[in-house]
Amino acid sequence: MIEYQQKSHYDIGDLLEIMRLLRSEGGCPWDREQTHKSIRSDMIEEACEVIEAIDLEDTELLREELGDVLLQVVFHCRIEEEAQTFTFSDVCDEVCKKLIVRHPHVFGDVLADTTDEVLKNWDAIKMQTKGQETYTDTLNSVAKSLPALMRAQKVGKRAMRAGMDFRTAEDAMACIGAEKAEFERAVASGSTADIEDELGDLLFSCVNAARHLGIDAEQALKNSTEKFIRRFAVTEELTRAEGIDMKELPIEELDIYWDKAKKIILEENEND
């Protein structure tokens, strides 16, 4: 057992020390065994839970989940500190310097009175500090680990800043029709590779249209998925109420219950 003074309130110094103790000899066997890769998915999961707390507008949950994200940051830093590469303090130092450099309108003598001017300066400084010499470099730097819709929207936004974009939202929407036609031809051809390729183009065109319309494509799909689950649940309730297992119904009959579910949900929404 490791001796540690219990407190009524802890700070970042305590968190760093607790992590050091957990990873030390005599600490926690599981914590000592972890590597960057073994806890990689934990960072993604904890970040998603922060988003969930934000969506729920739950302040207490947000505080808890932010702590879990901070724990992941401290965990990764501790692994590197043991390897004598960098420390948590180094991470703080680097991000502070980055913020100062990228806000010359606050910490320097650059003028930027609008958000557009701030973002223009930010992009220019980012290209310079990251050694990005071409617009293509800025597109390639978008993390491949991002969800596909989110990454597509971000890539499209950076291409827009280089002048490569649709002139209007109408042009972007027209592209959806063109890509849909190409997708249908690929389906008719029976080529799996072509179908995958054209489906990707169709999805990408939808993301571009969403961007032009000021819609977050990732959030839009999330909302539609939740809407589908809700309608599916009501459909199942309707069939179960009649002693029917929905999977035994032909799709034509199931569609009848599906339409009933839609009407029920619409009525519920109107009464809210």
Domain ranges of the chain: 12-99, 219-271
pLDDT lower than 70: segments of the chain: 1
What pLDDT does residue 31 have? 97
What is the rounded distance in angstroms from the CA atom of residue 253 to the CA atom of residue 257? 7
pTM of the model: 0.72
For residue 210, the model assigns a pLDDT of 96
pLDDT at residue 97, as a whole number: 95
Distance CA 143, CA 263 (A): 42
Q: What pLDDT sits at residue 234?
A: 96
pLDDT at 5 (0 to 100): 83
What is the CATH architecture of 12-99?
Answer: Orthogonal Bundle (1.10)
pLDDT digits (tens, 9 = 90+) for 76-112: 999 999 999 999 999 999 999 999 999 999 998 888 8
pLDDT of 110:
87
